[in-house]
Structure 1
């Protein structure tokens, strides 16, 4: 899983688990493990590939498409920039919490343009190692920063370089709704199976309504 997909998968998985009953989730987990050898997050990531083979769960899969995939994110063009407008409450909450954390925000700002190793970015940001490594690992798990290469340290060892997925974030309030938009590199959007899946799901729904 690369680019923005880890960030999307985490919130998608939580949303699907909230949408379906525990019994349905358990049955679905068992089926995808037996037939495809996939865990739940992997199933979400490969939803478009395995969906047609899960005939016994047609109602549940349709629910996922209509209630989650169609209302998760949408693309919005502004000149040369393509923004992801976040419509999912869980993803919005994760984004707001992360950017409200001053240390995490500084790490994301420091790795937005240039990839850095964990020790170097913590030093640059003046963040203590204990809390810094914990927060960095949280953002790696959540998909806010991704590994993009290796660099040699002064000790001659190899260190993983990390880069922020999000280039910009825009948060506004429209009446009682919080509107969150994120800008990620164009190549990440075009190479994301999940963004493509959501776009196709939205387009398919619009075509059905038009007919």
Structure 2
């Protein structure tokens, strides 16, 4: 009996369907196949995934629960889709191939993000739980590695920058503030509670006990 296992490698920059949806007059999301436009790209990518599945695993059909290990290789560290959205898009293509019955079979998944400018791709391994189990360990690095830092999305940069300014100005200011209304407190107006961890102005204190 063959062990329930399959591996699929699909070359090309991984993409997610969320960027290619159109909406019909009823507001329902659709993925066009033959509009002749940019939005066809995801449907063609899904077909590519299904084709590679069948080619690389001929005659294989796995119907049991699965552990999935997905390695996604992008061209760039900075410009790529959210990896958290990639998994659903890939498994739709895997299900379409007939290699698995339903993507609900995947009960455990590990997703890793890598970068390969010359050979973007994804590599997926599927392990049947009747023969395989998953163990993982998180340990400290022997030496500190270079940080990979991220910037906020364009639509959130203004909010992020203004929040940082407020935070920085608050950190610089040593003036205590009422933790209910937020107004600055003078020494003779401070009422403390919770062992000094909570500061309240007299006005708010009086309102609480009216």
TM-score w.r.t. the length of structure 2 is 0.22
Q: Which structure would you say has the larger Rg?
A: 2
Higher relative contact order (CA closer than 8 Å, sequence separation 6+): 1
Structure with higher helix content: 1
